[in-house]
Amino acid sequence: MDRITCIEDLREVHRRRVPKAFFDYVDCGSYSEQTYRANSDDLHAIKFRQRILIDISRRDLATNILGEKASLPLILAPVGSTGMQYGDGEIHACRAAQAAGIPYTLSTMSINSIEDVAESVGKPFWFQLYVMRDRGFVRELVERAMAAKCSALVLTVDLQVLGQRHQDIKNGLSVPPQLFSLSNMLDFMRKPSWLIGTLRAKRRNFGNIAGHVKNVDDLGSVAAWVAGQFDPALNWKDVGWIRGIWPGKLILKGILDVEDAQEAAKTGAQALVVSNHGGRQLDGAQSSIEMLPRIVDAVGSTVEVMFDGGIRSGQDVMRALALGARSCMIGRAYVYGLGAFGGAGVTKALDIIANELSVTMGLCGVNTIADIDRRVLAV
């Protein structure tokens, strides 16, 4: 791992070590992937203002996220099926995040369950919720998150219908799934360390929905149940219903429009995440960074604004902070590390981003996260 210098290096190791179907699940976007590419391209188009002969000896990356101290302005975003990237992946990722002093978000569609993770880590974590047709199941998930002492609920609001991801269909991650085709099975066998680690893991199915599907070990039954549960009737009243059940901190993830952001700020949520689901939903939508400053200008004084979409470096974090984000979620960047080296790979990803952010702050002449604003950007 000593020769790993950037997130792209982790991505390449991940690609070699994890079966193609699961690597592509993380690495690809929907349809023609215009929005997926725009997330990164638009970030890279933002240039910094280089400053010199400023005392930068007191650089400090610490900040507050939802009133809690964090060593970095970073959050590990919810990513489904993380346990298929590396055995017990959610547990390893949560441990790495907590060791680094930042929040971890467990996905509804995780392999390890809420209870699995809670039993394996020492501190509270965040839980991400999909509002499904079965509202009784949704209420139960919220109550389980409360029982596990999750410190925030991240409500994903941009998945009423599922955007088509061409590579998932080609790889057999469809409904019903075709994961056990000859080509996939041969690929699994060519990844022995991944296969052994996955077989040794606590689970190989969706832990949070066990008990709600008659045969949770039947991938076809699970996939069909999940596909039928995304609710096109989801609306703002449902956010109010969740707010009435959940007593803690609430975050709305998937805001990409000023009008929606203004409506979100009225719900009683403590934060919103400017996000297009990593380019995995509406292809052709604007990039997250394009919409960030407009949303911050509209609601930034009333709700904490977080950013998600395309971050692969500490410089990308700096760009988002400069345009008004209070903190950033990373998904693919840490999953590349997880798939490559397990928990140590997640730690490596965080170390890379932290070092890049620190160096960039220094070269832009700022010492603290609070000092970062539009003045660090070239006009």
pLDDT, tens digit (0-9, with 9 covering 90-100), for 217-231? 666 667 677 778 888
CA-CA distance, 153 to 27, in Å (whole number)? 25
Mean pLDDT over residues 105-132, rounded?
A: 96
pLDDT digits (tens, 9 = 90+) for 129-159: 999 999 999 999 999 999 999 999 999 999 9
* Strands 126-129 and 105-106, bridge-based pairing: parallel
> Per residue in 162-172, pLDDT tens?
888 998 888 88
Q: Per-residue pLDDT averaged across 39-56, rounded?
A: 97
Please state which of the ranges 17-26, 102-111, 159-168 shows the lowest mean pLDDT. 159-168
Residue 253 confidence class, pLDDT cut points 50, 70, 90: very high
Q: What is the pLDDT of residues 335-350, one digit of tens each?
A: 999 999 999 999 999 9
Quickly state the pLDDT bin for 204 (edges 50, 70, 90). confident
Q: In what order do the strands lie in the sheet containing 304-308?
A: 74-76, 327-330, 304-308, 271-274, 249-255, 152-156, 126-129, 105-106
Is residue 112 scored above 70 in pLDDT?
A: yes
Confidence of residue 379 (pLDDT cuts 50, 70, 90): confident
Q: Indicate if the pLDDT at residue 52 is higher than 60.
A: yes
Q: What's the pLDDT score for residue 29?
A: 95
Q: At what angle do helices 314-322 and 288-299 cross, to 10 degrees?
A: 40
Q: Is the pLDDT of residue 181 over 90?
A: no
What lies within 8 Å, CB to CB, of 272 at 6+ separation is: 251, 252, 253, 255, 261, 264, 265, 295, 299, 303, 304, 305, 306
Active site residue 277: yes
Tens digit of each residue's pLDDT (9 = 90 or more) over 345-376: 999 999 999 999 999 999 999 999 999 999 99
Interval 205-219 mean pLDDT? 75
Question: All domains of the chain, ordered by start, with CATH?
Answer: 7-376 (3.20.20.70)
Mean pLDDT of 20-39: 95
**Is the distance from CB of 314 to CB of 358 less than 8 angstroms?**
yes
pLDDT tens for 184-201 read: 889 889 999 999 999 999
Q: Is the pLDDT of residue 176 over 70?
A: no
Region 109-125: mean pLDDT is 96
pLDDT of 175 strictly over 60? no
What's the confidence (pLDDT) of residue 164?
87
Q: Which residue's entry shows tokens 């296969």?
A: 195
Judge whether residue 291 has pLDDT over 70.
Answer: yes
What is the greatest pairwise CA distance in the chain? 66
Q: Give yes or no for residue 177 having a pLDDT over 70.
A: no
How confident is the model at residue 220, as a pLDDT?
62
